[in-house]
Every structure is written in C-alpha cells, then in structure tokens.
Structure 1
Amino acid sequence: MHFSTWLHSHYKEKGPVLWLAFALEALAALVLVLLMLLTCADVVGRYFFSNAVDGAVEMTEIAIAVIVFAEIPVITWRGTHVVVDIMDNFFGQAWVKLLESLSAVVITASLYFLGERIFVEAARSLRRNEVTEHLQLPIGYVIQYIGVMCWIAAAGTLTWGIYRLFRGRAAAVTA
C-alpha cells in the first residue's frame, strides 16, 4: 500500500488540512515515542546505575505540552471533542444548530484571545531570557508554540462551526 493511499484511507480531511492533520499527529506520535524512550532510559539509569537522566522532568513537561497542543487543533476541526447533548431531544433542530453555532463562536473567540495572551507571555519570557532550571532551555519558544496551536485550533473551530451551520442546508438542497 502506498503512503498516499494509506493517508487518504485513514484521514477524512481534504486538501491542506489533511497534511496539517497528519503532520500534527505525526509530531505528537514522534514526541510520544521519544518521551517513552526518555522514561525508559531514566528508569534504567535510576535503578541500575543510580544515575537518572538530567533534566528528564523538564523534557517530560515540554513533551507533554507539545503532544497536547499538537492534538487540540485536530480534535477541534474534526469536532471530536466531548459534547454533552442530553438536552438536544428537548430542543428542536433549529435551537440545537443555533446553540452549536454560538458555542463555536465562543470557543473560537476564547482560543484566539487565549493565543493572543499566550503570545504576549512568550514575548515577555523571551525578553527576560527565561530558561528551564536544569537544562537552561529557553521556555519562550514552547510558549509561542502553544499560542500558535491555540490560533490553529481557533481557525479549526470556526471552520467546524461554519461547516455544521451549513451542512444541513447543503443536504436539503441536494435532496
């Protein structure tokens, strides 16, 4: 099986979003494997050689941030986040669609302004040359990455909300 065949059979996205989804999930998978190897090396070093990996805690914290924030945009534009729909049966379809649209707008705005604020904090961190305690890694770049992922998630939430809003109309027109 060729890679493109595998990619198109496992990802429902189209166009550049397909490649972005694959790239973000590949990044998360790679960092997870590296985190697993780091943890194994740390445990083996600690128990068999009485010498843990220096900075393992810092690298673990950064790796978890990379994994989590790489997956947030993919989850939002797929609409696979947790949704509580216990009241949908009591409301009509029009109300549910309106509430979905409203939640997409609120979440999009929240993610955008959160990314904006995170970028301000990243700039401040870089200006002050803030680094991690043991490895002296500049933490501002990780904070910038989180801000960019918030903006990508905001764009994904907005497109998901627009898709959900017009999906019913397109189905009605083609029927």
Structure 2
Amino acid sequence: MTFSAWLTAHYEEKGPVAWLAFFLELIAAVTLFFLMLLTCADVFGRYFLDNAVDGTTELTEMGIAILVFAEMPVITWRAGHVVVDILDRWMSNSLIKALGLLSAFLIASSLYFLADRIYYLAARALRREEVTEYLQIPVGHIVEYIAIMSWITAAAMITYGVYRLLFLSRD
C-alpha cells in the first residue's frame, strides 16, 4: 500500500488538508515521544545517578507549546472542541447552524488578532535576543511558532465555517 493510499484510508480529510493534518500530527507525535524520552532520562538520572538533565523544565515547556499548537489546527478543522448544547433542543436547526457559523467567525477573528499580537511579541523577543534561563535557547522562535500556528488555526476555523455553510447547512 502506498503512503498516499494509506493517508486516504485513515484520514477523513481530503487533498492537501489530509497532508497538513498528517504533518501536524507527526510533529505532535515526535514531540510527545521526545518529551517521554526526556522525562524518562531525567527521572532515571535524578534517582539512579543523582544528576538530573539540565534544562528539563525549559525543554518540557517548549515541547508542550509545540505539541499543543501543532494539534490546534487539526482539532479545529475536525470540530473536536468542546461544545455545550444545553439549549439546542429549544432552538431551530437553522438558528443552531447560524450560531455555529457566527462562533466560527468570531473565534477565527479572535485567533487572528491574538496571533498578530503574539507575532509582535516574538519579533520583540528576537530583537532583544531574549533566551531561556538555563539552556540559552532563543525564546522568539517558539513564540513565532505559536503565532504562526494560531494563524493557521484561524484559517482552519474560517475554512471550516465556510465548509459548514456551503456543504453541511442544508436541511
């Protein structure tokens, strides 16, 4: 079986969205694997060698940021967020869909402007050459990654909203 056939069989997304989802999930999986290795090495070193891995906290914080923001666009496109539907039984189907579209566009615009501010802070951190305390890793690159992934998530939210409007909103 070719990789393309495997991807088609295991991902409900089509075209480039499936490839993007796979790539982002691969980033998250590799990051989680390295976090597991880092934690095991740190615990082993701490309890058996009396020497912990230097910078474990910094690396864990960066790894969690990479993991969370790699999965945000995928979860957004798949509508995997928590939805409270307490009032849905008293509303019409078209009102529920309209409110869903409104929330998709509000969330997307909020993410866009939040990412814009985050990117400004990343540029400032790079200009000031801010680094982490122990490992001296430039902070700006991780913050830039967070901003870029937030923009991608905003785009995923808008495209998902338009997709719902055009293809799923028919009663």
- TM-score exceeds 0.5: yes
* Distance across 2 between alignment mates of 1:37 and 1:139: 23
* Distance across 2 between alignment mates of 1:142 and 1:168: 36
* Distance across 1 between alignment mates of 2:167 and 2:58: 44
The letter of the residue matching 1:130 is E
Q: Describe how 1:1-150 pairs up with structure 2 within 5 A.
A: 1-150=1-150
* Distance across 1 between alignment mates of 2:151 and 2:19: 17
Deviation at 1:8, TM superposition (A): 1.2
The letter of the residue matching 1:126 is L
SS of residue paired to 2:28:
helix
* Distance across 1 between alignment mates of 2:8 and 2:81: 22
The letter of the residue matching 1:132 is T
SS of residue paired to 1:84:
coil
The letter of the residue matching 1:83 is V
* Distance across 2 between alignment mates of 1:44 and 1:33: 16
* Distance across 2 between alignment mates of 1:82 and 1:28: 20
Q: Write the deviation string for residues 60-104 of structure 1: whole angstroms up to 9, x where unpaired.
A: 000000000000000111111111112111110111111011101
* Distance across 2 between alignment mates of 1:163 and 1:5: 24
Q: Write the deviation string for residues 27-77 of structure 1: whole angstroms up to 9, x where unpaired.
A: 000000000000000001011110000101100000000000000000111
* Distance across 1 between alignment mates of 2:49 and 2:126: 37
TM-score scaled to structure 1, two decimals?
A: 0.94
* Distance across 2 between alignment mates of 1:134 and 1:140: 16
The letter of the residue matching 1:44 is F
The answer for unaligned runs of 5 or more in structure 1 is none
Q: Write the deviation string for residues 125-144 of structure 1: whole angstroms up to 9, x where unpaired.
A: 00110000000000100000
Aligned-residue CA RMSD (Å): 1.1
The letter of the residue matching 2:124 is R
* Distance across 2 between alignment mates of 1:137 and 1:61: 12
* Distance across 2 between alignment mates of 1:101 and 1:3: 34
The answer for unaligned runs of 5 or more in structure 2 is none
Deviation at 1:26, TM superposition (A): 0.2
The aligned residue for residue 164 of structure 1 is 164
* Distance across 1 between alignment mates of 2:79 and 2:167: 13
Task: Report the number of matched residues.
Answer: 171
Deviation at 1:3, TM superposition (A): 2.4
Change in CA separation of 1:57 and 1:168 when aligned onto 2, cut-off 3 Å: closer
